[in-house]
Amino acid sequence: MRRVELGVFIPIANNGWIISKTAPQYMPTFKLNRQICELAEQIGFDFAFSMSKWRGFGGETNFWEYSLESLTLMAGLAAVTRRLKIYASVQPLLVAPAIAAKMAATIDDISAGRSGINIVTGSYPDESAQMGMLPPDYDSYRYDYAEEWITVIKRLWTEPSVSFHGKYFQLRDCKSDPKPLSKPHPQIVCAGISENGMRFTARHGTHSFLGGRNFDEVITLAQKMKAMARDAERRVKAYTVFTLIQGESDAHADELFDYYSSGADTAALQNVTAIAQGSSGQLVQDIAKKFVFFGCQPLTGGPEKIASILDRLIRDGELDGVMFCFPDFIQGLEAFQRGVMPLLDRRGLR
């Protein structure tokens, strides 16, 4: 029997994960995310996860132009939850390792050992460039940079004093106390699916978040990640993420999918996907429909279909966890509890 962890990818930026004028429109607030996390905890979810975002994509919906900061938001949510694991995202380029180590240890204390960090090595260059913090050719060495960054952090979490002389970081008798409550240290999540990214995860990660273009690719990536971790003589948990479009039936879910797709904010999507301004209107529409569920592959269907797909992914891909985004997070969590969770229980997945 394989028990899977369930998580919620909380909306730290406006409008969640659907770039559409017909999807729910809302601002990111602590109040909303607290309600989401408290409900997720109440219905038996296992973790909450937040991204890091510093600049949006505009368009008619001002997609992601309003965002909260991940570490400080998750510190607040750690204080108002009791069981839910809390994962904050941090970009090594923007936060020095000694600062990140202390911040993460503080969240671990607030949460009584329920915390972890998600390392974001790459992002849209405009985010850091607008701050004057994008070095030339950073993409070519971002994993070398992250290698030193996480090495320093893990040492600060476990050693009384750290001296480190690397290419990117220099520390002399650096101290960071108190240590995290989590032993040997807070969980480390990585989401890269490139060869470099997966090798980095195999060396340092406790969890890997894997997004695929289709269900078969998710299974393939999960199997590959597990094998790479075994080669490194480590164990890394494999997780994936979906935007859940759950209907009362498969047909109803398809209607919802088409409705959200029909309102695609093509101006924002052009900014996301760097569509050439000279592209035909039809091409823009075709690409928009593909990317309207941004960052999270849509999982569409009634409860039985959703449970069946999850069953296959969890068993064939040996997945340890699945994280969800929802058009409306409160309604989506409630519907998932009523319709899908009992089916997962009957399949022995919870």
35-84 pLDDT tens trace: 999 999 999 999 999 999 999 999 999 999 999 999 999 999 999 999 99
SS3 172: strand
What Rg value do the Cα atoms of the chain yield, rounded? Answer: 20
Residues 6 or more apart in contact with residue 274 via CB below 8 angstroms:
none
Percent of the chain with pLDDT over 70: 95
Tokens for 296, please give them: 């999270």
Q: Mean pLDDT over all residues of the chain?
A: 93
Q: Average of pLDDT values for 205-218? A: 91
Which residue, among 121, 120, 122, 100, has the nearest Cα to 185 in the 3D structure? 100
Distance CA 241, CA 243 (A): 7
Domain definitions of the chain by residue range? 5-346
Tokens for 117, please give them: 């960090």
Statement: residue 276 has pLDDT above 50: no
Fold of the CATH domain 5-346 = TIM Barrel (3.20.20)
Which residue, among 181, 139, 190, has the nearest Cα to 157 in the 3D structure? 181
Q: Write down the pLDDT at residue 280.
A: 42
Statement: residue 285 has pLDDT above 80: no
Q: How far apart, in Å, do the first and last CA atoms of the chain sit?
A: 9
Which residue, among 10, 81, 97, has the nearest Cα to 52 in the 3D structure? 10
Tokens for 249, please give them: 């039936």
Q: Write down the pLDDT at residue 279.
A: 40
More confident residue, 302 or 269: 302
Distance CA 17, CA 285 (A): 18
Statement: residue 172 has pLDDT above 50: yes
244-255 pLDDT tens trace: 999 999 999 999
Compute CA distances 132 → 93, 121, 129, whole Å. 11, 17, 5
Q: Write down the pLDDT at residue 289.
A: 59
